[in-house]
Amino acid sequence: MRYRVTAAGRTHPGRVRAINEDTHHIGERVLVVADGVGGEAGGEIASQTVASIIANVATSRPTEDVYQSLTDAVARGSHAIARQVQEEPGLAGMSTTITVMLGGDRRIVFAQVGDSRAYYLRAKKPETLHQVTRDDSFVQELVDAGVINREQAQHHPQRNLILKAVGDHIVAPSFASYAPVVGDRYLLCSDGLTDYVAESDIHAVVVAEHRDVAADRLIDLALRAGAPDNVTVIVADLTTP
């Protein structure tokens, strides 16, 4: 199917933090949201380093096996982080989440590490906002085990504990893929949105607004909720070429 990915991205440090450790990238075929953690400037460096490596690999080798390309890109991100930590020991422990959307000719492929998220909204079934990604997080494990529900997970004191991130050790991303359909919409976001804004409120914005307005409103909802964390959103529409 012939289509374009047309996206609006916004990021904000939030109301509490002085620096923004989230990074986002909007390319022709690739979208990335990365949420870095680490001491000193580590979080910022980790998210920027890995996001730019993934963006480059994704665009320079679009015809190769996309799963292998993304797995390699994540591994290269880890190598780059390991090198930077070696040169600057104060950066030890820095890491980042990644949520990647890569638009291939036949499939849209997502790669995921950590607890940033992607959602999709079908043009033909807009009453449901579907989550694409599964959080690599402690509370997600509790949800899967039936110990707590999704609502409780959003308010759990350990909701920020992630079980997997791209740091100086190689990790395997999780994948999902969808058939591209013009009119469908995708949302990529950091936990600065989803930890503080209810999914029903996110859905109400994403279903109703033009992508530029939707991106602004989502940031606004996080700010109104106090925005203790950096917040990043990309609202992407599949449009005709």
Would you tell me which residues interact with Mn ion (CB under 5 A)? Answer: 35, 190-192, 229
User: Do 239 and 1 touch, CB atoms closer than 8 A?
Assistant: no
Return the residue matching tokens 């609006």.
Answer: 8
The closest of 218, 222, 160, 216 to 15, measured between CA atoms, is: 222
User: Closest CB to Mn ion among 78 and 116?
Assistant: 116
Q: Please state the closest distance from residue 104 (CB atom) to Mn ion, in A.
A: 28
- How many whole angstroms separate alpha carbon 38 and alpha carbon 31? 23
User: Closest CB to Mn ion among 36 and 173?
Assistant: 36
Q: Please state the closest distance from residue 189 (CB atom) to Mn ion, in A.
A: 10
User: Closest CB to Mn ion among 75 and 223?
Assistant: 223
- How many whole angstroms separate alpha carbon 13 and alpha carbon 103? 28
- How many whole angstroms separate alpha carbon 111 and alpha carbon 103? 12
Return the residue matching tokens 């679009």.
Answer: 62
Q: Please state the closest distance from residue 11 (CB atom) to Mn ion, in A.
A: 11
The token duo for 102 is 């890569």
User: Do 194 and 218 touch, CB atoms closer than 8 A?
Assistant: no
User: Do 180 and 102 touch, CB atoms closer than 8 A?
Assistant: no
Q: Please state the closest distance from residue 114 (CB atom) to Mn ion, in A.
A: 9
- How many whole angstroms separate alpha carbon 22 and alpha carbon 37? 9
Q: Please state the closest distance from residue 36 (CB atom) to Mn ion, in A.
A: 9
Q: Please state the closest distance from residue 37 (CB atom) to Mn ion, in A.
A: 8
User: Closest CB to Mn ion among 11 and 69?
Assistant: 11
User: Closest CB to Mn ion among 136 and 229?
Assistant: 229
User: Closest CB to Mn ion among 184 and 191?
Assistant: 191
